[in-house]
Structure 1
Amino acid sequence: MLIQLTYASRTSRVLGPADIKDILSASQRNNARAGITGALCLNNGIFLQQLEGDRAAVNALYHRLLKDTRHKDTAVLDFGEIPHRRFTSWSMGLLGSVDANRQLFLKYSSTPDFDPFSMSTLMLRSFFDEILQNVRWLE
């Protein structure tokens, strides 16, 4: 059974470009092995990630993420069964806070700062629908 899990967390410390590159590289490598696909957004010290794949594999990954000291205040924002994957082109894409993406982050935020913790499930799903088509991904 395919599931999709969306969670948010706050960074526990300031992350530099090398940290982000390490997170993305490890995610791509490990997720490919586990059959997990998805997208990771980082903006204003907040991670927002949508994972998709086998229920046991996504669940195992989420529990490993809970132990990662780079995260704090982790919360599941959306979870459910899906009929198919949406992020079939990559094991993990990273959406960063570059100028080209800032308007999109603001579009779905109820405050001047991006805050997925306050987004409804419908807003989260719409946000990820839009980023699939209209954003600049970091590699």
Structure 2
Amino acid sequence: MLVRLMYASRATAAPTDGDLAAILKASREHNPAEGITGLLCFTDGVFVQVLEGGRDAVNARYKRIVEDPRHRDVILLGYEEIAERGFAGWTMGQVNLHRLNPALLLKYSETGRLDPYAMSGAAMAALFKEMCASGAIAVS
């Protein structure tokens, strides 16, 4: 059974560009074996991630994230059974906020800042779908 999980968390320490690159590299290396795909966004000290895959694999990954000392204030924004993946093309894509039209953020949030703690899970999911459609995803 496939599921999609979306969460947000705050970084306990500001990750460098190298730290983020290492996280993405590790995800891209390990996710295929676990059947996990998804997207990662990091801005202003906040992570937002969508994970898709088998229920057991996604649940286990989320548990590791919740227990990871690099994350605090972890909140579940959405969890659902899905018939097909929305992010099947990426073992772990990265949202490139520099390529994002600021008006898109205003469409779903109170301000032009990405703040998942002030948005509904449905709004975050819709925003991620539009980010994909607008080409705001980097995969390298």
Distance in 1 (CA, whole Å) between partners of 2:37 and 2:93 is 9
1:44 touches 1:113 (CA, 8 Å); kept in 2? no
Runs of 4+ in 1 over 2 A off after TM superposition: 104-109, 135-139
Query: In the alignment, is the contact (CA less than 8 A) between 1:43 and 1:114 conserved in 2?
Result: yes
Alpha carbons 2:41, 2:94 under 8 Å: kept: yes
For residue 73 of structure 1, what is the aligned residue in structure 2?
A: 73
> 2:7 & 2:137 partners in 1: Cα distance?
19
Give the gaps of 5 or more residues in structure 1: none
| TM-score after normalising by structure 2 | 0.90
Secondary structure of the residue aligned to 1:28 is helix
C-alpha separation in 1, matches of 2:120 and 2:136: 24
Decide whether the 8 Å contact of 1:95 with 1:135 is kept in 2: no
CA positional deviation for 1:39: 0.5
Residue 28 of structure 1: aligned partner: 28
Shift of residue 28 of structure 1?
A: 1.1
Aligned length: 138
- Identity percentage over the alignment? 41
Partner of 1:87: 87
Aligned counterpart, 1:45: 45
- In the alignment, is residue 101 of structure 1 matched against residue 100 of structure 2? yes
Deviation at 1:89, TM superposition (A): 0.8
RMSD: 1.5
TM value normalised by structure 1: 0.91
- 1:66 deviation in Å? 1.3
User: CA 1:32 to 1:105, structure 2 compared with 1: closer, same or farther past 3 Å?
Assistant: farther
Q: Deviations over 1:70-107 (max 9, x none)?
A: 21110101001011001111111011332x22613444
Once the 2 structures are TM-superposed, how far is the Cα of residue 33 of structure 1 from its aligned partner?
Answer: 1.2
